[in-house]
């Protein structure tokens, strides 16, 4: 499938329309919610035109660079929350490993692997409503050692945080905290009942007020409407989130959302592009589910996104790192070791 700029008049009209939206964004403007929704609702024949326009925005702020992240499942399968998409929730019957927070040597070995794979950021993730004192102490102890030994940025994903915990994470050297909104405020009650959308927003505010970067994104394909996806993109912009991981539901057997499959590769590409138009200078990461939903079209996602996870996810396998490196190289892009945070 190629973009033919000399094609029929309707195709040219569509191409020009998306270029005009990009012009507005690059001039410092913002697209409307209606424009964002129209990107999601566009026909498949418009997808390449949308990506071409979105690439201009991506290139303005990130050039052809790609930043790699490495996930470490530091505590697995022991979460008391009931998030319907998650294999580690209390209602999941998925056969996932169950263990408390890993020991120092295991966390250091993960950091070593992250460094060897070219990742700039090491993501420490625990399954929990929020960190207990033992887990806070473990993070406070290991973060300075990882940073000194490997020079990695640290992103902590520890669940709900209060302000005192956020201040402690900042003090020990955590650069960024991940806490995803996951969906819109309107739809949130459909995917979780043990905490609220407001709880998640409050955690992000504590992170921001403590002086750390906010990493927050979501999952598409959980049965939400396109309006919900747009609302999430705009909420992230209003919060000032620096890094946005966009996941595509991997419907794991044993979870309430098993067998939920309602995404095409083009749906995923247009969603990535819409997030780029709405959040033009924010890091945008193609996250979980890319291998399943984008398949052979994964490289096209990098025309609007500028970040990937390298290696496996928390409880599911990712693409082989070698394939990711080759994909980036084949696109004419390059892995960067520069920090991507935007104030």
pLDDT at 333: 98
Q: Is residue 119 domain-resident?
A: yes
Q: What is the DSSP letter of 322?
A: H
pLDDT at 2 over 60: no
Residues 6+ apart with CB under 8 A from 15: 3, 5, 49, 52
Which is the catalytic residue, given 157, 215, 268, 340? 215
DSSP string, 232-252: HHHHHHHHT-SEEEEEE----
pTM, 2 dp: 0.94
Least Cα distance to 153 among 245, 233, 243 occurs for 243
Task: Average the pLDDT over 228-237 and give the result.
Answer: 98
User: Tell me: the pLDDT tens digits for 17-37?
Assistant: 999 999 999 999 999 999 999
Task: Average the pLDDT over 133-137 and give the result.
Answer: 98
Which is the catalytic residue, given 58, 123, 172, 200? 123
pLDDT at 179 over 90: yes
pLDDT at 5: 43
Which is the catalytic residue, given 56, 79, 157, 168? 79
Q: Is residue 224 domain-resident?
A: yes
Could you confirm whether 79 is annotated as catalytic?
yes
What's the CA gap between 340 and 343, in Å, rounded? 10
Beta-ladder partners of 68: 308
Which is the catalytic residue, given 83, 192, 268, 340? 83
**Domain region containing 97:** 58-335
Task: Average the pLDDT over 303-316 and give the result.
Answer: 94
Task: Average the pLDDT over 140-152 and give the result.
Answer: 98
Task: Average the pLDDT over 143-165 and give the result.
Answer: 98
Residue 247, exposed/middle/buried by CB under 10 A (0-12, 13-18, 19+)? buried
pLDDT at 343 over 60: no
pLDDT at 61 over 60: yes
Which is the catalytic residue, given 58, 155, 172, 290? 155
Q: Is residue 152 domain-resident?
A: yes
Task: Average the pLDDT over 261-273 and give the result.
Answer: 96
Could you confirm whether 268 is annotated as catalytic?
no
pLDDT at 9: 58
Q: Is residue 226 domain-resident?
A: yes
pLDDT at 102 over 70: yes
Q: Is residue 29 domain-resident?
A: no
- pLDDT band with cut points at 50, 70 and 90 for residue 315: confident
Which is the catalytic residue, given 58, 200, 270, 285? 285
Q: Is residue 203 domain-resident?
A: yes
User: Tell me: the pLDDT tens digits for 74-101?
Assistant: 999 999 999 999 999 999 999 999 999 9
pLDDT at 342 over 90: no
Q: Is residue 235 domain-resident?
A: yes
What's the CA gap between 250 and 30, in Å, rounded? 31
pLDDT at 341 over 80: no
pLDDT at 161: 98
CATH number of domain containing 156: 3.20.20.70
Q: How many domains does the chain have?
A: 1
pLDDT at 339 over 60: no
What is the average pLDDT value for the chain, to the nearest integer? 95
Q: Is residue 181 domain-resident?
A: yes
Beta-ladder partners of 67: 307
pLDDT at 337: 79
pLDDT at 338 over 70: no
First-to-final CA distance of the chain: 38
pLDDT at 12: 87
Beta-ladder partners of 89: none
With contact defined as beta carbons under 8 Å apart, do 151 and 114 qualify? no
- pLDDT band with cut points at 50, 70 and 90 for residue 3: very low
Could you confirm whether 83 is annotated as catalytic?
yes
User: Tell me: the pLDDT tens digits for 107-134?
Assistant: 999 999 999 999 999 999 999 999 999 9
């Amino acid at each position: 499938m190629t973009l033919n700029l000399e094609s029929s008049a309707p195709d040219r009209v569509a191409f020009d329309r998306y270029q005009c939206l990009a012009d507005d964004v690059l001039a410092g403007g913002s697209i409307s919610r209606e424009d964002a929704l129209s990107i999601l609702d566009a026909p498949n024949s418009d997808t390449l035109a949308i990506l071409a326009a979105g690439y201009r925005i991506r290139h303005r702020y990130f050039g052809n660079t790609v930043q790699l992240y490495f996930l470490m499942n530091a505590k697995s399968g022991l979460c008391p929350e009931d998030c319907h998409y998650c294999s580690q929730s209390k209602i999941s019957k998925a056969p996932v490993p169950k263990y408390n927070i890993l020991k120092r040597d295991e966390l250091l070995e993960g950091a070593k692997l992250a460094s060897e794979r070219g990742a700039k950021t090491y993501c420490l993730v625990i399954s929990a409503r929020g960190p207990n004192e033992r887990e806070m102490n473990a993070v406070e102890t290991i973060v300075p050692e990882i940073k000194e030994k490997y020079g990695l940025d640290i992103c902590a994903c520890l669940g709900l945080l209060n302000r005192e915990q956020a201040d402690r994470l900042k003090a020990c050297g955590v650069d960024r905290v991940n806490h995803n909104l996951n969906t819109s405020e309107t739809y949130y009650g459909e995917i979780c009942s043990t905490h609220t959308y407001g709880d998640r927003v409050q955690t992000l505010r504590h992170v921001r007020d403590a002086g750390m970067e906010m990493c927050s994104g979501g999952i598409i394909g959980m049965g939400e409407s396109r309006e919900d996806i747009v609302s999430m993109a705009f909420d992230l912009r209003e919060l000032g989130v620096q890094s946005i991981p966009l996941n595509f539901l991997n419907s794991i057997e044993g979870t309430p959302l098993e067998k939920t499959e309602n995404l095409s590769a083009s749906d995923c590409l247009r969603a990535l592009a819409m997030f780029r138009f709405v959040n033009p200078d924010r890091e945008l990461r193609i996250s979980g589910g890319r291998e399943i939903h984008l398949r052979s079209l994964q490289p096209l996602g990098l025309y609007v996104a500028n970040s990937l996870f390298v290696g496996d996810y928390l409880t599911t396998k990712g693409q082989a790192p070698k394939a990711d490196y080759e994909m980036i190289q084949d696109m004419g892009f390059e892995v960067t070791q520069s920090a991507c945070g935007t104030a």
